[in-house]
Structure 1
Amino acid sequence: MNFFEHQDRARRNSRRMVFLFIIAVVLIVFAVNLAVGLLFFSFFEFGAHEMQHMKLNASMKAHGIVSLITLMVIGGASWYRMSKLRSGGDMVAVGMGGTWVDPDSTDPALRRLCNVVEEMSVASGLPTPHIYVLEAEKGINAFAAGYTPEDAAVAVSRGALDQLNRDELQGVIAHEFTHILNGDMRMNIRMMGILYGILAISVIGRGLLHSGGRRKSFIGNRKQGGGGPILGLGLMLVGYIGVFFGRLIKASVSRQREYLADACAVQFTRNPDGIGGALKKIAGYSSGSQLKAADREEVSHMLFATGQSFWFSMLATHPPIEERIKAIDPRFRPEDMERRASADTAKNQRSGIHAAFAGSSDPWAFLTGKNEKVAASAFAASLNQDVESPDPEHLDHAVQTVSAIPDTLLHAARSRSEVLALFPALFLAREKDMRESQMGKVEEMLNLKFAEKVAILTKEAEKMHPLLTLPLSDLAFSALRQLDAPYGKRLTDLMEAMVAMDGKVTVFEYCFVRLLKRRLAEAQSPNRKPEGGKCRGKQCREALVNIFSVLAWQGHDSEALARRAFLAGISRMLPMDVPLYEAPVNWERDLDMALEVLDGLDFMTKGELVQALLVTAGHDGQLSLEEAELLRMICACLHIPVPPVLPEVAVNRG
């Protein structure tokens, strides 16, 4: 099952979850009406037949009112909780007691954590999420939360930091990145909101029960208020019945995903001892994976391992820890398990330096002396593979990539105070006159202080291989999204002005700025409804023609070659109505329209589109690095993360 199939499955699961919860709500409404009806009839003494008939009519009217009130309570509570979660993963992490981790931290344990998360981000083609540590939690656990990768947060317990070595921590983070890539997070937050609404019924019931308990009439005359506690008890029981079935549904959705995420983590890291070792330590650790936070049950379906004990196994959101270990290591025997809570303590706290380059005399060596073209088949491997578990070579490459970025630029990418200066530095022109004009624009739209910082960073950026531009921007996004929205708008306006000043905007520059704008917009409004499945008809056909025309025109020197490349690709998407090729007159407008419309394709069709685009770009059997990076950028604009081009086929654009 590949990335596109997982995304499609996630949406089907989300619809199924909503359907099942609707059934649960209907049953709760029925149960509340039953409780109110019993209370109504038990607290009235019926006399004549006519009086009974009048009271029956009144009862029927009351049922309608009760149903409406119940739905309003559930819906209102769910809306309230969802509105609290609208800022995305940060809100969930902070609500669990998480402490934000500075990406530039020098604390050994935190540096190690940041390095692992950054490596996973680069390897999977995702922006780096915010990182949190649950300082009060001694159990070994973690979770990823958010609506999209742009607002994602990864939280790790202090117990995990203290007890896991680097390989084990890497396995846990790979597991969480699988949930980010698979689109599980949006459904997880929707679960939180709906369950909160169902729980509201029991909260109201508990309030009525407790308030009534303080009154003398609790067991006295039923006409003096004894109905309140009874109604409260009924509502509380009804509410907990709803929560029971809600948890049951949540568990049924979550369990299979955990097996899948474990398997993907093994494929990603090529190290079953990583995540397997983490699970074994949980099994043998005194605190296990237990959490103390009051909201632990609410996020139980997000956690790496069970955060609390369940008396009924069907309610557990995770498979038994022994079964997860056996799925990774069939030779595992529970009776052989020994406590490993203090194992590898010294190793756990080792420096966070990227081990792959410890002692390397030339960390940039992997970017030099390569072929001048990227084999189309090699890049196809990146697009064809299961994106939810990128090839282990991509993880190795990510370690090298982060190490190859100059320290000054890496520090700027991690710093909230310097990240604004980083992006202009990556796109300053080499010509003196044009550079001076661009620097003037930087000073105008930011300020003199930032302009001076841009000048310093530019000197380092000129030394950096162009292949590192996109990974560096992925690393910088974590710091960038912490800035207020006006700063993000100012940055994108500046970038648009800078790349347009020479009158020669490249497709790469255009896509880079568009991707930056899209990511910032989604980070600021993460709970917007995804557009999947809305691209149909004539508009979709026009968008397909536009994107294939631009790609063919960009990557081929002659119109004849461009025409053949265009037809080879678009015939896969429109086999019954193949259009004629026309060189784009206004490619920026055409590409802007195409990316906007085609983002509305369903994920299965997006998968077909990516393969067809690759046919066009690699029609001559090879890709320039610019073409390969452009394809990655286009995919990112369509919400399709693609791992980076591997170093053995990387070349300099210039």
Structure 2
Amino acid sequence: MRFRQHQGAAQTRTIQLMLWFGVLVVALTLAINLLLALVYKLVVPTGFGFPNLFFETNTAVVLLFVVGGAIVETQRLRAGGGARVAHWLGGVEVTDPDDALERRLLNVVDEMAIASAQPVPRVFVMRREDAINGFVAGWSADDLALTVTRGALERLNRAELQGLVAHEFGHIKEDDLPLSMRMLALVWGLSLIHGYGQTLMRPNQDGQVNPLAWLVGLVLTAAGWLGWLAGRILQAAISRQREFLADASAIQFTRTSDGLGNVLRKIWHDQKLLAGRMQHPAAEMVAAMLLHEPGQTHLLACHPRLSERIRRVCGTVLPPLPARLLREPVSEPRRPRATTAPEGALAAVNDGGLTWVSAGATTSATPASVQHDLIQAHSEGWSARLHADREALARLQRLQGPTEQRLLLLALMMDPANGAERRWWDVRSQELTHGARILDDVQALLPQHRMPEFERLTAQLAGAPIAQRRQVVHDARELLRADGRISPRDRLWWLTLRHRLNAQPGGAPLILPLTHHHEDISDLPEAERAYVAALSAYLARFIPMPERADGVHPASQVWYDQVMQRCGEDMADTVMPQPPDADGLVHALSAVQELGWVLRAILVKSWVEEAFNHSPQGLLSDETADALRMCACLLDTPLPPMLEAHYRATR
């Protein structure tokens, strides 16, 4: 097709789009006038006729919202171009990244630009999206922006990534982008009434809802739903056939159908597992621009069926293909840097960024400057660690499927240093395409965040069906005994898991504590003190302390002695008993759970305070803090402030 034919086809499609938009606006206006007329007659049944300018006012308001909103959004998109849409979806621009996967993306974009004879767009990555997807946006060659998800980078090989990028270049070549940008603005205008109504219905920051605002929002939502539906139909009608053409262009640019075909097969596999959905709330608005939009009915879908696209690309309907994380290391050359070093200069990092210094200046470095560099390097490493923790935590908290949540819970309970548990988990995680990513994200968490995440997840699962909870308990038992033994750590995790999954709705404890007349743990009778001693002896193995110089007491007994002295026991000739076995632990725990809630809180506080008193530099280890937190959970006792601060330090 020649240039003038391209222009003529683009103008024809734009005219058709505007005509359809006009028809939808007229239909929406008539529908809203009819709805409001019915509401008026229901509210004022004895009234004669309608108020003056009733229909004119309704029509003006609808046009103000729909047409005015579309005009305003069009101007915004023209000012920001494709980069505005990319930023809207959470995209981060990449120019000269250190990450090999992002460098591979830049190189593939350059290759497809050459193959398609199209300009090189700006490249963005949606780093919080695990789904396989991408889009290109812009009005002209000057403001093009190509965006892909992090999931596409991590789960597509190079040929498949070429297929995805080539599909987006197909949209550029066929001049689909101006039409897509106009359609985005028009759909935004059509759905404005619906979105505004939903906003009025939402509770405020205090969780309260204004009744009047909620009622107005309900009316606007009900009326605006027609506009939302009209916008979805408009997107579906315009977009479907353009996807077939872009698929054909991708095969032309890459000279193979395997790349794009495998991408579509992997997306299809994700859909069958109810995974791979984009999480950003604005993804639905730009559905027509995406490589594929999962989860929509065929009537409202902006893309053809995946089976039909695969049939046209591959010649037959091939089965879905699992999209696992890439395990082989990726090696990609960098794009040429924008700046080069002066002759005879070396790079140096300071507070202002990257600078160039004379090579001879490095020989006169003082110890103070070396120390500054080391401190800065450590600070940068810690900042990167915190960033990785936040990214991993955000991805984990978006997991909603039963299989995803079960694997996440097992990954949190697993000992990373236990090879047998890791091999067992790898086998079970094969049922989920992104199972390996879940484990990677768990291992990227800071140790202080594993236990809070475990509690958040078990709180959600406590309301799940009994069959689902039984499956979680069964899998956890198999995981913890994968190496043929149950360690003290494993047993504590196991008891905590069962306790939290058996909790009543609302967090009420299952065990009803008895009423005691004792005001402090120092007044406990001998029988109850014996149960406290057994439980403390078991917990003592999680309290790492430096050995005493006199060698009289083992390190764990120092903590045990101080705790039992608070319980009123004379420790002059007393030796810490052997930690109880599984049955003894459960028996002691059940007895301590029957203490009054005040006594249990005092006991947990004593454990925590003595642990701080006898820990090196007064800092708890992560294993000690987790053990104390699990014991507090098993006793249905709030965390003491000293222990809670351990988990707030990095938040």
TM-score range, shorter chain: 0.3 to 0.5
Structure 2 length as normaliser, TM-score? 0.48
Q: Which has the higher contact order (CA 8 A, sep 6+)?
A: 1
Structure 1 length as normaliser, TM-score? 0.48
